[in-house]
Amino acid sequence: MTALLWALVVLPAVVGALLCGAGRRADRVAPAVAVGTAGLVLAAAIAVAVSRPAVSVPFLPGADLGLAVDALTAVVLPAVAAVTLLVLVFSAGEITGARGRFFGLMLLFEAAVALTTVATTLPALLFAWEVMGATSYALIAFSWRDPDRVGAGTTAFLTTRAADLGLYVAAGAALAGGAGLGLDRLADAGGPWLDVVAAGVLVAALGKAAQLPFSFWLSRAMEGPSPVSALLHSAAMVAMGGYLLLRTAPLLAASGWADDAAAWVGALTAVALGAVAVAQRDLKQLLAASTAAQLGYVVLAAGVAAVSGGAAHLVAHASTKALLFLAAGAWLSALGTKQLPALRGAARRWPVVGVPAAVGALSLAGVVPLSLWASKDEVLAVAREHSLPLYVVGLAGAALSAAYAGKVLWILWRRPPAAAESGYDTERPGTRQVGGLQQAPLGVLAAGAAVLGLLVWPPVGTAIRTALGETGLPRPSVLEMVLSAVLAVGVVLAVGRLPLPEPRWAAGWLGLGTATQVVAVRPVLRLAEALARFDDRVLDRSVTAAAVAVRGAAGGFARFDDRVLDRAVEATGTGGVRAARGAAVADTTGFDGAAEGVAAALRRLGDLLRRTQTGQLHQYYVQAAVVLAAALALLLLTR
């Protein structure tokens, strides 16, 4: 069975790497190979979910690469594998160019996700974690001729990596705290180190899960192809942020503050990003914001230690959101737009897409009896037990999700306007058709979106809770479930009647991206430029100046000197201009001035020394006499 566990990771990694390396030569076979591989991975995932193997190999000294399947993994892993398979099938119909690269990267990504889910040690986790980030970059920037998309990939990668620094720090702190690098033992870290570990893990997870304040990267990530959004930015990578917190829930609890922090960040994200989603006019943007909001519940679940509920929500959301993204992708390729106003009535035009999408939207809205309704209530029940305000905020988030899901639903199913065609083809020329490969996965995913609520109901839910050891947790009361169901249905219906507000702060993703630009990116770039100037002009020049000085000390050698002096003058000139523009180096003058002073002194000394060789004999005599007198004085004074 351990072989299967390995196969889970190695198979897609190797196949993916080969496809990438082969480039265009693999374009024809790539979809088939990738789908086949994903199928095998799914089979393996199911097999290991049942058999629960564990394995560990040496990796770093004192930090093995540990892989294992436990109850949590057994729930999440097959779901992710299944979604991957379905997305790949969809992609086979959607992606037309550079397929080798695309499917290779997708498989690499799958390998990374698989490793993330089964990792039991920090090195293994971080390994997969960072590869996810990198493949995400490569996939978002898949159409590299468009600078915007590459920039979006860069943003996504850098933002998540900034958060990933938390894991590096956590690793060091875990070592320092004596806990070792096993994920399950992190909570054993001693003293203040425990807080550092918890904080590190929390930051890393929040970054990946696009929670506040990192959410903005997900918005830009939507510039990638739709299957990428479906898999990476809803079902798998983003979800892994929540997954990590579920896995390390004991650590959060042990720290005494991180659990509350996670719960509140999750709840607030659910509300804030819910509002953002409501305000969006772009379908994919809306879905992206919704993803962050929904993952807020997973994070909330981790914060309140409702692991089973969180896992169920994660899986149900994966299915739902993948479905919606794929549907959006199908329309995008068919109609050439993802703007909601332009998509009015799209579901009617292609019911084969529209119906599954409707199921997904209803599930997202939390309408009875679909999956997200059940899983969300499962989480909220524990939250209420934890703190009432938390519950209220969570409920508000639920209302918002019903609002944006309703918005989508209504628009898609309204009658298309007469001039529908004029709104199409804003992004790219549409094909006006949805292929079979694109349709097939939608049905499966819709089924998932509908029934995955079973994960919280007996008997499956009970089995999972038992496996996870969550026996004493509160279950949602009937009242709560009715409340949320009524809320969802009510809001969805209301949305059909009332226009939704679209405040600018929400439409612009709370200004988080801009804020990051202003607070972090620009200052760093400024600093970098200032330092570079400092490096060129001060550090380097002081050395050069010393060289010039020593050389000047010797005088002569005109050519050399000319060149250097020329250049120094030139450099001073440009330096002056730039300094006038407000170079950030305040102490340039002092530092540089000192260097120049030393230089000048040395130069004078050198000239003086060489001037002693006058050619005048009597002056030699005098000098010799003076030196000897000095020597005599030295001898007599130091005895």
Partner 1 sequence: MHKEPLALLPEICLLVGAVTTLLAGSFLPRERQWGARLVATAALVAAGITAAVALADPARTVYGGTFAVDTATGAVRLVVAAATLLVIGLGVDELAGTRRESETYALLLLGALGATVMGSTTDLLVLAVAFLLGSIPLYGLVGMLRSPGAAEAALKTYLLGALFGILLLLGTTVLYGLGGATAYAGLATGLEGAPVAALAVGLLGVLAGLVFKAGGVPGHFWVPDAAQAAGTPAAAFLTTVPKVGALVAVFRLVDVLPGSADWPLLVAVLAAVTMTLGNLAAFAQSDVRRLLGWSTVSQVGYLLLPVAVAGRTGEALPALLFYLGAYAVTNLAAFAVVAAVPDRRGLEESRGLATASPWLAGALVVALLGLVGTPPTAVFVGKLTVFTAAWDGGLAWLVVVAAANTVASLFYYLRWLAPVFRRPEEDAGDGGTRPFAAVAAVLAAACILGLGLAAGAVLPLLDGPLAR
Partner 2 sequence: MTLQTVLLVAAALFCVGLYGAISQQVVVMVMMGLELMLNGVILAAGAFWWFLSPAPDGQVLLLVVITAMTVEMAMGFAVATLLHRSRGSDMTDMATDLSR
Partner 3 sequence: MVDDIVFWGLAVVAVASGIAVFRVDSMARATYALAVSFVAVGLALLLFGLDYLGVVVVLMMVMEMAIMAIYMIMFMGMNPALMPMSMVHGKRTSLAVAGLTFAVLAAGILLVDWPERRGAPAADLTLAVGRAVMGGKMLVMMTVSAVLFATIVSALVLALPRGRYDDDPADEAAS
Q: Does 558 bind partner 2 (CB under 8 A)?
A: no
The pair of structure tokens assigned to 569 is 């003058």
The pair of structure tokens assigned to 604 is 């004078």
Least gap, CB of 529 to partner 3 (angstroms): 59
**What are the phi and psi torsion angles at 469 (to 5°)?**
75, 25
605 binds, among partner 1, partner 3, partner 2, none (CB under 5 to 8 A by kind): partner 1
- Nearest C-alpha neighbor of 395 from the set 324, 300, 503, 466: 300
DSSP letter at 366 equals T
Q: By rule CB under 8 A, what count of residues binds partner 2?
A: 12
The pair of structure tokens assigned to 142 is 């898949």
Q: Are 107 and 23 within 8 A, CB to CB?
A: no
Least gap, CB of 628 to partner 2 (angstroms): 11
Cis status, amide bond into 213, omega within 30 of 0: yes
623 binds, among partner 2, partner 3, partner 1, none (CB under 5 to 8 A by kind): partner 1
Which of 522, 532, 619, 630 forms a contact with partner 3 (CB under 8 A)? 619
**Separation CA 622–CA 624 (nearest Å):** 5
**Separation CA 631–CA 321 (nearest Å):** 92
- Nearest C-alpha neighbor of 133 from the set 108, 104, 102, 100: 108
Mark residues 29-68: x for contact with partner 1 by CB under 8 A, - for none: ----------------------------------------
Which of 498, 617, 635, 636 forms a contact with partner 2 (CB under 8 A)? 617
Mark residues 591-620: x for contact with partner 1 by CB under 8 A, - for none: --------------xx--xx-xx-x-x--x
Residue placing its CB nearer to partner 3 in the complex, 626 or 634: 626
Which of 482, 560, 574, 577 forms a contact with partner 1 (CB under 8 A)? 560
Among 6-14, 304-312, 585-593, 610-618, the segment contacting partner 2 (CB under 8 A): 610-618
- Which residues, 6+ apart, have CB-to-CB distance to 206 below 8 Å? 163, 212, 214, 241, 262, 265, 299
584 binds, among partner 1, partner 2, partner 3, none (CB under 5 to 8 A by kind): none
Burial 563-574 (b: 16+ CB within 10 A, else e): ebeeebeeeeee
Q: Does 628 bind partner 1 (CB under 8 A)?
A: yes
Chain centroid to Cα 437, Å, comes to: 29
Which of 486, 625, 630, 634 forms a contact with partner 3 (CB under 8 A)? 625
- Which residues, 6+ apart, have CB-to-CB distance to 282 below 8 Å? 222, 338, 339, 340
The CA dihedral of 111, 112, 118, 124, to the nearest 10 degrees, is: 130
Q: Does 2 bind partner 1 (CB under 8 A)?
A: no
Which of 530, 555, 568, 588 forms a contact with partner 1 (CB under 8 A)? 555
Q: Does 50 bind partner 3 (CB under 8 A)?
A: no
- Nearest C-alpha neighbor of 175 from the set 153, 206, 150, 200: 200
32: left (phi over 0), alpha (psi -120 to 50) or beta: alpha
Q: Does 486 bind partner 1 (CB under 8 A)?
A: no
The three-class DSSP label of residue 34 is: helix
The CA dihedral of 400, 403, 405, 407, to the nearest 10 degrees, is: -150
Q: How many CB atoms lie within 10 A of CB 324?
A: 32
Least gap, CB of 625 to partner 3 (angstroms): 5
**Separation CA 26–CA 22 (nearest Å):** 6
Which of 622, 627, 630, 634 forms a contact with partner 2 (CB under 8 A)? 622
Residue placing its CB nearer to partner 3 in the complex, 462 or 613: 613
Total residue length of the chain: 639
The three-class DSSP label of residue 583 is: coil
Residue placing its CB nearer to partner 3 in the complex, 387 or 623: 623
Least gap, CB of 639 to partner 3 (angstroms): 14
Least gap, CB of 638 to partner 1 (angstroms): 5
Q: Does 634 bind partner 3 (CB under 8 A)?
A: no
Residue placing its CB nearer to partner 1 in the complex, 28 or 610: 610
Q: Does 625 bind partner 2 (CB under 8 A)?
A: yes
The pair of structure tokens assigned to 514 is 């801009």
Among 117-125, 434-442, 552-560, 626-634, the segment contacting partner 3 (CB under 8 A): 626-634
Burial 339-378 (b: 16+ CB within 10 A, else e): bbebbbbbbebbebbbbbbbbbbbbbbbbeebbbbbbbbb
Q: Does 627 bind partner 3 (CB under 8 A)?
A: no
Among 26-34, 89-97, 295-303, 620-628, the segment contacting partner 2 (CB under 8 A): 620-628
- Nearest C-alpha neighbor of 347 from the set 416, 396, 292, 294: 416
Least gap, CB of 634 to partner 2 (angstroms): 21
Q: Give the number of C-alpha atoms closer than 13 A to the C-alpha of residue 77, restricted to the C-beta side.
A: 31
The pair of structure tokens assigned to 48 is 């290991």
Q: Does 613 bind partner 2 (CB under 8 A)?
A: yes
Output the CA angle 450-454-456, nearest 5 degrees: 125
Least gap, CB of 541 to partner 1 (angstroms): 18
Element counts in the chain: helices (H) and strands (E): 29, 2
Least gap, CB of 610 to partner 1 (angstroms): 5
Among 215-223, 355-363, 366-374, 555-563, the segment contacting partner 1 (CB under 8 A): 555-563
Handedness of CA 128, 131, 137, 138 (dihedral sign): negative
Residue placing its CB nearer to partner 3 in the complex, 463 or 625: 625
550 binds, among partner 3, partner 2, partner 1, none (CB under 5 to 8 A by kind): partner 1
Which of 145, 504, 618, 639 forms a contact with partner 2 (CB under 8 A)? 618
Q: Does 613 bind partner 3 (CB under 8 A)?
A: no
Residues that bind partner 2 (CB under 8 A): 555, 610-611, 613-618, 621-622, 625
Give residues in contact with partner 3 (CB under 8 A): 618-619, 621-622, 625-626, 629, 632
Binding site for partner 1 (CB under 8 A): 547, 550-551, 553-557, 560, 605-606, 609-610, 612-613, 615, 617, 620-621, 623-624, 627-628, 631-632, 634-636, 638-639
